[in-house]
């Protein structure tokens, strides 16, 4: 099955046990206002444009015959300043699995396994399942928002070795407001995780005035009990990527509806 990814990061040390290779799936059903991977939101390959370096020479707009350039209406190969790149690559799961296994061999005994991240890996369930099958018996981990049907979640969980799942906001109304979706299905999947036999870690990004409030953190602790929990400081370096995609970074807008305001 064909899927779309936007990055492969080798030597990752924060994406599960050991030194890992992380595959970033393209497409996510959530719209967290703080999302630091905006190129992972759309399921489609996207043009990224470094406007600050552009000479406005229009060479890229003169037309070309490269098939890969046609969807974007710009030649991707002619820019003297390398201003244009495409985020997103479509690939067969079996081809990607073979490529990843070759790169893992080169990393030798220190290699800890593969992690599926994004975007949301569960947004491409068939591709994810085929990739998992192609990468066994390596240690396999997923980083997920948990926003997927419990049936698919439980099925895929059975094939994984470790799960890192976000619980961002306990209050359903605030979850809807700040991520674009209700958290009911996420909490349902957390229950499956908690009652299963797979090791897991819960993560909460600390977003000032939104997720880092005492009320929210206490409520999450109540939900997860003694489960392992990591609170992640917010990385606000994503603004440049939003600009390259030609979209506004939601965190740059004032939030009249933010917690405490």
- Closest to ligand SF4 by CB, 47 vs 131, is 47
Query: What's the closest the beta carbon of residue 223 comes to ligand SF4, in angstroms?
Result: 18
- Closest to ligand SF4 by CB, 112 vs 118, is 118
Query: What's the closest the beta carbon of residue 28 comes to ligand SF4, in angstroms?
Result: 3
Query: What's the closest the beta carbon of residue 227 comes to ligand SF4, in angstroms?
Result: 19
46 phi and psi, to 5 degrees?
A: -130, 145
Query: What's the closest the beta carbon of residue 254 comes to ligand SF4, in angstroms?
Result: 20
- Closest to ligand SF4 by CB, 211 vs 213, is 211
- Closest to ligand SF4 by CB, 76 vs 129, is 76
- Closest to ligand SF4 by CB, 138 vs 143, is 143
The alpha carbons of the chain give a radius of gyration, in whole angstroms, of 20
Q: Which residues bind ligand SF4 (CB under 6 A)?
A: 28, 30-32, 35, 37, 40-41, 54-60, 78-79, 81, 83-84, 118-120, 145
Query: What's the closest the beta carbon of residue 25 comes to ligand SF4, in angstroms?
Result: 9
Residue 253 CB partners (closer than 8 Å, separation 6+): none
Query: What's the closest the beta carbon of residue 84 comes to ligand SF4, in angstroms?
Result: 5
- Closest to ligand SF4 by CB, 84 vs 169, is 84
């Amino acid at each position: 099955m064909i899927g779309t990814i936007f990055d492969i990061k080798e030597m990752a040390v924060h994406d599960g046990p050991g030194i890992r290779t992380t595959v970033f799936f393209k497409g996510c059903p959530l719209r967290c206002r703080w999302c630091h991977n905006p190129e992972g939101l759309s399921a489609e390959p996207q043009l990224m444009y470094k406007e600050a370096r552009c000479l406005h020479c229009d060479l890229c707009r003169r037309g070309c015959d490269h098939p890969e350039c046609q969807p974007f209406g710009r030649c991707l190969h002619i820019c003297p300043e390398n201003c244009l790149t495409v985020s997103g690559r479509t690939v067969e799961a079996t081809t990607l699995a073979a490529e990843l296994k070759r790169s893992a061999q080169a990393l030798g005994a220190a290699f800890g396994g593969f992690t599926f991240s994004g975007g949301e890996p569960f947004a491409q369930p068939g591709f994810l399942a085929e990739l998992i099958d192609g990468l066994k018996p390596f240690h396999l981990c997923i980083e997920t928002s948990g926003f997927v049907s419990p049936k698919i979640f439980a099925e895929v969980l059975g094939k994984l070795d470790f799960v890192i799942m976000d619980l961002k906001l306990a209050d359903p109304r605030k979850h809807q407001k700040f991520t674009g979706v209700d958290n009911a299905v996420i909490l349902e999947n957390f229950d499956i995780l908690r009652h299963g036999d797979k090791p897991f870690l819960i993560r909460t990004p600390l977003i000032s005035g939104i997720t880092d409030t005492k009320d929210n953190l206490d409520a999450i602790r109540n939900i997860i009990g003694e489960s392992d929990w990591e609170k992640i400081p917010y990385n606000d370096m994503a603004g440049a990527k939003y600009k390259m995609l030609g979209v506004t970074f939601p965190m740059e807008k004032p939030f009249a509806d933010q917690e405490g305001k």
